[in-house]
């Protein structure tokens, strides 16, 4: 960010639907730019209304293809749509993102669609802070729905996906997914399971496996039972069922006051991640960063216990 006065102008341009302004704002979020607090303040009044849908699952399962089809369905329904493809990996690899962009090409020239890939390369709060902020940029730009594609590989990515209003977990036959899904804690976050690549052998077995696991989980009366739908995203098949399952979940949330609860959880994770990021940064700069090194040396040599050292470190931060 070059000058302070750029912020209101940039936000105004994004509000007017200038895709370059939107792209710039998302980049500033990724980089953890010092102007972010002012950007967030300028955007706040326009946010909190968009529907946020998370898509997660193993690489290659069909998230981008499904996203592309969902964008089509949402555009047909007259919605303005934002897509965030969240890449937890280094910005220099870029391969997955390239594939994402290719698979979402259908909408590249549609002014009602913003597609942005994002990492959290410079953001102190990591993906948990950067993603909701980028969602807010897209909301500020007038998106009614924001789709967040995250690779479901690590705990952080799973957490990011689970911050959506509705979370879709994609599985595909022959990837040992059902078991892996449980391991990665994905079962708990799914509102809707999509068994994609239903054109392949083994899709029925994957479908049965996941239904079986859902059946085993304990649920309180009135609690949401994850839906399972089959799809062949490359052919657009089953997407009506995916949309219907999302709508069903949305109605359930409305009836149970769950939407507000989820949004508060999302805000909570975001605020916490920002605060921890700031704290971590200050710890690094406390008395020139030497404080931690000095304490660490004493802890390593048995001269000081780690709790006392942590107390001492925190005293230097305010
Ligand atoms: N056979 C089959 N292939 C699919 C289907 N959906 C996606 N693919 C292919 O699977 C590959 C990975 O898809 P992509 O959407 O990029 O997966 P992502 O990594 O989860 O985003 C691509 O070559 C797609 O064309 C499907 O329903 N059936
Ligand atoms: Mg993808």
pLDDT digits (tens, 9 = 90+) for 102-113: 566 677 778 889
Q: Please, which residues bridge with residue 86 across strands?
A: 118, 150
Task: Label residue 95 by pLDDT band (50, 70, 90).
Answer: very low
Residue nearest to atom 3 of ligand 1 (CA): 197
The proportion of the chain whose per-residue pLDDT surpasses 70, expressed as a percent, equals: 86
Q: How many residues does the chain have?
A: 318
pLDDT at 99 over 70: no
283 vs 291: CA distance, rounded Å: 8
Ligand 1 neighbours, Cβ below 6 Å, are: 57, 59-65, 99-100, 103, 196-197, 199-200, 232-234
CA 46 from chain centre, in angstroms, equals 20
More confident residue, 244 or 268: 244
Task: Label residue 238 by pLDDT band (50, 70, 90).
Answer: very high
pLDDT at 285 over 50: yes
Q: Which of 56, 62, 67, 101 to mutate to test the pocket of ligand 1 (most atoms within 8 A of CB)?
A: 62
Q: What is the pTM of this model?
A: 0.88
Residue 252's SS3 state is helix
The sheet with strand 192-195 has its strands ordered as: 113-118, 81-86, 145-151, 51-57, 166-171, 192-195, 227-230
- CA 151 to ligand 2 center in whole angstroms: 7
Q: Range with the lowest mean pLDDT among 9-23, 59-73, 178-192?
A: 178-192
- CA 258 to ligand 1 center in whole angstroms: 32
Half-sphere exposure of 265 (CA within 13 A, CB side): 13
pLDDT at 236 over 90: yes
| Predicted pLDDT at 76 | 94
Nearest atom within ligand 1 for CA of residue 149:
21
Residue nearest to atom 23 of ligand 1 (CA): 60
| Predicted pLDDT at 201 | 92
pLDDT at 91 over 50: no
pLDDT at 213 over 90: no
Backbone angles phi, psi at 89, to 5 degrees: -85, 180
Residue nearest to atom 24 of ligand 1 (CA): 62
| Predicted pLDDT at 37 | 92
Q: Which of 65, 99, 105, 170 to mutate to test the pocket of ligand 1 (most atoms within 8 A of CB)?
A: 65
| Predicted pLDDT at 92 | 41
More confident residue, 104 or 234: 234
Q: Range with the lowest mean pLDDT among 18-32, 46-60, 114-128, 160-174?
A: 114-128
- CA 196 to ligand 2 center in whole angstroms: 13
pLDDT at 256 over 70: yes
Residue nearest to atom 14 of ligand 1 (CA): 62
Ligand lying closest to the C-alpha of residue 153: 1
Q: Which of 54, 57, 60 to mutate to test the pocket of ligand 1 (most atoms within 8 A of CB)?
A: 60
Residue nearest to atom 9 of ligand 1 (CA): 62
pLDDT at 244 over 70: yes
């Amino acid at each position: 960010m070059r000058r302070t006065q750029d912020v209101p102008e940039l936000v105004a341009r994004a509000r007017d639907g200038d895709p370059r302004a939107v792209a710039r704002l998302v980049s500033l979020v990724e980089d953890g730019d010092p102007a972010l607090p002012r950007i967030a303040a300028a955007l706040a009044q326009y946010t909190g209304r968009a529907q946020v849908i998370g898509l997660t699952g193993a690489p290659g399962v069909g998230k981008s293809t499904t996203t592309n089809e969902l964008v089509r369905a949402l555009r047909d329904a007259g919605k303005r749509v934002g897509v965030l493809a969240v890449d937890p990996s280094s910005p220099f690899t870029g391969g997955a993102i390239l594939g994402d962009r290719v698979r979402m090409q259908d909408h590249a020239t549609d002014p009602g669609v913003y597609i942005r890939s994002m990492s959290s390369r410079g953001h102190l709060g990591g993906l948990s802070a950067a993603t909701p902020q980028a969602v807010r940029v897209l909301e500020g730009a007038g998106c009614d729905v924001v789709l967040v594609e995250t690779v479901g590989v690590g705990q952080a990515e799973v957490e990011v996906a689970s911050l959506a209003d509705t979370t879709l977990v994609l599985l595909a036959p022959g990837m040992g997914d059902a078991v892996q899904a449980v391991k990665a804690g994905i079962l708990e976050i799914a509102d809707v399971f999509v068994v994609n690549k239903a054109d392949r052998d083994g899709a029925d077995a994957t479908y049965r496996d996941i239904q079986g696991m859902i059946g085993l989980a304990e649920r309180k009366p009135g609690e949401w039972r994850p839906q399972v739908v089959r799809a062949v995203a490359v052919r657009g098949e089953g997407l009506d069922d995916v949309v219907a399952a999302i709508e069903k979940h949305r109605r359930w949330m409305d009836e149970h006051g769950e939407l507000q609860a989820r949004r508060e959880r999302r805000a909570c994770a975001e605020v916490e991640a920002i605060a921890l990021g700031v704290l971590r940064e200050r710890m690094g700069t406390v008395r020139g960063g030497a404080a931690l090194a000095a304490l660490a040396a004493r802890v390593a040599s048995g001269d000081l216990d780690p709790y006392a050292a942590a107390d001492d470190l925190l005293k230097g931060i305010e």
